[in-house]
Amino acid sequence: MSATQFGSQTDTAARAGGAAGGSGGSGGYGGFGVGAPPVTTVATPSLRAVLRRSSFWVIAFGCIVAVAVVAVLVSGGSNVAGRALAGDNPAPAGSMALVEVLRQQGVTVTLANSLAEVRDTVGNDSTVFLYDENGYLDGDQLTDLAGLAARIVVVAPDFLSLQALAPTVGFGGVSDAESLTANCAVPAANRAEELLPGGNTLSIPEAAEHPLVTGCFASSTDTFSLVQVEHDTTGAIVSLVPDARVFNNENVTGYGNAALALGLLGPSDSLIWYLPTLADLPRTGPPSLSEITPGWVSPALVLLALVAVAAAFWRGRRFGPLVAENLPVTVKASETMEGRARLYARSNARLRALDALRIGTVQRLARAVGLGRLAHLEDVIGSVAVITGSAPEGVRRVLVDEIPRSDAQLMALSDALQALEHATGRAVRAGAVPAAEVSASASREFVSPPAERMDP
């Protein structure tokens, strides 16, 4: 079917529909967009339009990222909060200055993080710089270390280090000397002449005169800021520097700190800069979950997470926009009646409720006995009493006099009202129509709510 043909057909259909739209049937046809093929506009913006519209945000985001990258690069990727005395830390607490100077002097400095790395790189004539700030190494590891290197410089030794490397040396407290001068036979100390005052010291007990122990930079007779010991078993020379500040970037240039550091660390071509880490802790307990799971588990989990995201997009993508609709108000007409009933019940308005029931009953009775809607109450009572053959006092009691004191009485009176209505209805039927016709008309009589209510 060509477009023109199609258009003309629908035009006739529309005309025919206009004429036949007669009794509100569904015959009429009103074409929308019939005739020549219209240009259909697209509501969804194209990718290019989206990009153009959001270009400001894209550029803004790009600028923010660029600024962030530049900022990181300018700050040199500095590990400002890096580890103290780390060889690659340019912060004041680091030791990058010292390491770089040593490298410029031709010393091969290797940064090590675990004893295994030290063991891999150590040579016959290596010097090991050890600063175990957190006390990761235990005694055995320290003893091993002493056996590995020819020279060990221990900075700020703790109790275990002293036990393992220099059992005769103890702690000496904080130095209170104004200045620290070398005064000893260690060449590096002599070249340094003076040291940063005020740090921790180590003590050499006078009683234990040990030939292999040398103390320098004395604060008092038995406390020193540098103690050099020859290890008992391995013969390694262990230099103990209790004050870590001597080596850091901030203080290394003051006094003779640099001379001492270079002298202690620079005698050989190979220096191992060893700061112990968690990797040095001995492994205990059962194997962790990651050790016993196969290697493919993590990638599979990543893939399944991606699948979940993809499935969310698959199911969640809506099929075009929704069309809004105004909904009509819906109120049940009987709400006011229900509300009034609840009010009666909550306030125990028995008499008021009963009054409503009584008035309704009286009106129905009046109609049943053939009196008008406006009949006097006494006439209704009299007629009903006569027709049902009961005492007028009883009828009056039910219809007017008795006041309910409790819910039980209210229910009894309500039942009495209904009984009276039924009795009247029966009596009227029995009296009005012959007995043979009562059964025939019974079904009509019992049609309970009248479909159409018209007042008589």
Partner 1 sequence: MTLTGRFVLLCALGVVPIVLFGPDLVAAAGVLALWLLLVLVLSGIDLALAASPRAVTVQRILPARVRLGESVTSELYLTNTGRRRLVAVVRDAWQPSAGAGRNRNRVVIPRGERRLVSLTLTPFRRGERRVEQVTVRSRGPLGLWNRQATLNAPGRIRVLPPFHARKHLPSRIARLKELDGRTSVMVRGQGTEFDSLREYVRGDDVRSIDWRATARRNDVMVRTWRPERDRRVVILLDTGRTAAARVNNEPRLDTAFEAALLLAALTSVAGDRVDFLAFDRRVRGRVQGASGAALLSQMVDSMALIDPELIEMDWAAVPGQVRGITSQHALIVVLTSIDAAGASTGLLSVLPQLTKRHTVLVASVLDPATVEAAATRGGRAEIYRAAAAERALLDVARVSAAIRQLGADVVTASPAQLPPALADRYIALKAAGRL
Residues 268-307 that bind partner 1 (CB under 8 A): 294-296, 298-300, 302-304, 306-307
Residues 239 and 247: their CA atoms lie apart, in Å, by: 14
Closest CA to 414 of 369, 355, 331, 454: 355
Between 57 and 313, CB nearer to partner 1:
313
Smallest separation (angstroms) from partner 1 to the CB of 447: 11
Which of 318, 319, 132 has the alpha carbon at shortest distance from 241? 132
User: For partner 1, which stretch binds (CB under 8 A), given 39-47, 140-148, 240-248, 394-402?
Assistant: 39-47
Q: Give least dist CB 158 to partner 1, A.
A: 37
- Residue closer to partner 1 by CB (options 297, 442) is 297
Q: How far apart are CA 455 and CA 401, in angstroms?
A: 27
446 binds partner 1 per the rule CB under 8 A: no
Residue 443 binds to partner 1 (criterion: CB under 8 A):
no
Site for partner 1 in 317-376 (CB under 8 A): 317, 319-325, 328-334, 336-338, 340-342, 344-345, 352-354, 356-357, 359-360, 363, 373
Handedness of CA 37, 42, 46, 49 (dihedral sign): positive
Query: Toward partner 1, which CB reaches closer, 74 or 322?
Result: 322
Find the binder of partner 1 among 286, 287, 434, 449 (CB under 8 A). 449
Closest CB to partner 1 among residues 202, 354: 354
Q: Which neighbouring-strand residues pair with 238?
A: 152, 229
Least distance to partner 1 from the beta carbon of 54, Å?
Answer: 16
Nearer to partner 1, 184 or 349 (CB): 349
Residues 210 and 34: their CA atoms lie apart, in Å, by 113
Beta carbons of 369 and 384 less than 8 angstroms apart:
yes
For partner 1, the closer of residues 21 and 198 by Cβ is 21
Distance CA 143, CA 169 (A): 16
Cβ proximity of 405 and 391 under 8 Å: no
Q: How many CB atoms are located within 10 Å of the residue 98 CB? A: 26
> Which residues, 391 to 430, sit near partner 1 by CB under 8 A?
407, 410-411, 414-415, 418
Measured from the CB atom, is 6 or 61 closer to partner 1?
6
Closer residue to partner 1, CB minimum distance, 27 or 394: 27
d(CA 414, CA 239): 111
Nearest approach in angstroms of CB 61 to partner 1 is: 21
With CB under 8 A as the contact rule, the residue among 32, 56, 57, 446 that binds partner 1 is 32
Output the smallest distance, CB 380 to partner 1, in A. Answer: 16
50 binds partner 1 (CB under 8 A): no
Cβ 374 to partner 1, closest distance in Å? 9
Give the one residue of 313, 434, 443, 444 binding partner 1; rule: CB under 8 A: 313
Q: How far is CA 421 from CA 212, 257, 360, in A?
A: 128, 120, 11
Do the Cβ atoms of 357 and 417 come closer than 8 Å? yes
67 versus 300: smaller Cβ distance to partner 1:
300
DSSP secondary structure string for all residues of 251-301: TTTSTTHHHHHHHHH-SSSEEEEE---GGGSPP-SSPPHHHHS-TTHHHHH
Using CA atoms, how far apart are residues 218 and 203, in angstroms rounded to an integer?
9
Site for partner 1 in 143-202 (CB under 8 A): none
